[in-house]
Amino acid sequence: MHSNERIQKMCIAALLCALGILVPMISPVRIQLGPMSFTLASHVALFLAMFISPTVAAAVELGTTLGFLLAGFAPVVVLRAASQIVFVLLGAYWVAKQPQVMRSPVRMGAYGLILGIVHGALEAVVVTLFWFGGATMDGSFVSTVLGLVGVGTVVHSMVDYGIALLIWQPVSRVVRVPVSYRAVRETVSSHS
């Protein structure tokens, strides 16, 4: 990798880390239900980083986790954020090795859903450890851990993935960044 490319990726990672730290701190849409928190757009920086490279994705994930820590979230929420390193690296390597996954709406949807399921499962495991470790939580294991955390995280992940795609599609067409995935420019042929 050329020096300029490395510096460019480092600067983009720093900007996405800043976004990942800032969103949990200032988001007006922040819902806390027991061990589950929904902070709108808290995963957008992660998805954008996944489209660039695995290294950028890992750096941004660690920065985002720091954001949740600095925002004063409960330990269970911070550890849920830390568990995201697995789904983030999986998604980043997947796009890097097979960028064609982002070439059709069906493949893009499957990619987002599979990552959302992995994401939800990881966060459910973290909350399960707290559940069986004696943490006080309302509701049953099924409704709290599997429902709110597991299924809720899949939905939250898909919403943030959609937001990231809405941002990435136009930006990747005009910004010259060394990336794993760049949106394909749609060309319209006209016949006279």
Q: Is the pLDDT of residue 187 over 60?
A: no
Q: Is the pLDDT of residue 189 over 70?
A: no
Instruction: Report the pLDDT value the prediction gives residue 184, as an integer from 0 to 100.
Output: 62
Residue 102 in domain: yes
Residue 162 in domain: yes
- Section 47-68 average pLDDT: 92
- Section 169-180 average pLDDT: 79
Q: Is the pLDDT of residue 191 over 70?
A: no
Average pLDDT, the chain: 88
Report the CATH number that the domain containing residue 55 is assigned in CATH. Answer: 1.10.1760.20
Within 8 A by CB and 6+ apart from 60, the residues are 13, 16, 17, 20, 45, 46, 48, 49, 88
Instruction: Report the pLDDT value the prediction gives residue 160, as an integer from 0 to 100.
Output: 96
Residue 184 in domain: no
- More confident call, 68 vs 55: 55
> What is the rounded CA–CA span in Å between residue 149 and residue 118?
12
> What is the rounded CA–CA span in Å between residue 23 and residue 67?
8
Write the burial class of residue 41 (CB in 10 Å: 0-12 exposed, 13-18 middle, 19+ buried).
middle
Residue 107 sits in which domain range?
Answer: 3-174
Q: Is the pLDDT of residue 186 over 60?
A: no
- Section 154-179 average pLDDT: 89
Instruction: Report the pLDDT value the prediction gives residue 35, as an integer from 0 to 100.
Output: 74
- Tens of pLDDT, residues 123-135: 999 999 999 998 8
Instruction: Report the pLDDT value the prediction gives residue 185, as an integer from 0 to 100.
Output: 53
| CA-only gyration radius of the chain, Å | 18
Residue 118 in domain: yes
Instruction: Report the pLDDT value the prediction gives residue 192, as an integer from 0 to 100.
Output: 37
- Section 4-13 average pLDDT: 90
- Section 9-19 average pLDDT: 93
Domain count, the chain: 1
> What is the rounded CA–CA span in Å between residue 59 and residue 24?
17
Residue 47 in domain: yes
Residue 183 in domain: no
Q: Is the pLDDT of residue 21 over 90?
A: no
The residue written with tokens 């010259």 in the block is 176
User: How many CB atoms are located within 10 Å of the residue 130 CB?
Assistant: 18
Residue 192 in domain: no
Buried b (16+ CB within 10 A) or exposed e, 156-175: bbbbbbebbbeebeeebeee
Residue 23 in domain: yes
Looking at residue 72, the DSSP 8-state letter turns out to be: T
- Tens of pLDDT, residues 77-108: 899 999 999 999 999 999 999 999 988 999 99
Instruction: Report the pLDDT value the prediction gives residue 164, as an integer from 0 to 100.
Output: 96
